[in-house]
Amino acid sequence: MKPAKLHYWILGCFSMVSCCWCTSDKFPQSDSHPHTWKKLYLAHHWPVTVCKMSANDCQDPPDYWTIHGLWPDKGEECNRTWHFNVTEIKDLMSDMRRYWPDVIHSSPNRTHFWKHEWDKHGTCAATLPILDSEKKYFSKTLELYQHVDLNGVLLKAGIKPGSTYYQMAAIKEVLTKFYGVTPKIQCLAPEEGEKAQTIGQIEFCFTKELKPRNCTEPKGESSRMHTNLQPVTEELSVCNDTLPVYYPSSTKQVNNNPLKSYLGKQF
Q: State residue 250's pLDDT score.
A: 77
Q: Rounded to the nearest 10 degrees, how much is the dihedral formed by the CA atoms of 131, 132, 133, 137? A: 20
Q: What is the pLDDT of residues 20-42, one digit of tens each?
A: 333 444 444 434 444 589 999 99
Half-sphere exposure of 58 (CA within 13 A, CB side): 26
Q: Could you tell me the CATH superfamily of domain 3-9+39-266?
A: Ribonuclease T2-like (3.90.730.10)
Which of 155-159, 200-204, 221-225, 245-249 bottoms out in mean pLDDT, i.e. has the lowest? 221-225
CA dist 264 and 195 (Å) reads 6
Choose, from 45, 121, 194, 203, the residue flagged as catalytic: 121
Is position 44 annotated as part of the catalytic site?
A: no
Is position 68 annotated as part of the catalytic site?
A: yes
Q: State residue 218's pLDDT score.
A: 53
CB 154 within 8 A of CB 174: yes
Residues 210-238 have a mean pLDDT of 64
Choose, from 33, 44, 45, 117, the residue flagged as catalytic: 117
Grade residue 62 by pLDDT with cuts at 50, 70 and 90.
very high
Is position 117 annotated as part of the catalytic site?
A: yes
- Residue 206's DSSP bridge partners are 40, 212
Q: How far is CA 65 from CA 62, 109, 113, in A?
A: 8, 20, 16
Q: State residue 52's pLDDT score.
A: 87
Q: What are phi and psi of 200, to 5 degrees?
A: -135, -30
Grade residue 107 by pLDDT with cuts at 50, 70 and 90.
low
Choose, from 45, 68, 134, 194, the residue flagged as catalytic: 68
Mean pLDDT (the chain) is 80
Residues 93-120 have a mean pLDDT of 89
Domain layout of the chain by residue ranges:
3-9+39-266
Those residues whose C-beta lies under 8 Å from the C-beta of residue 150, and which sit 6 or more positions away, are 44, 65, 202
What is the end-to-end Cα distance of the chain in Å, rounded?
Answer: 36
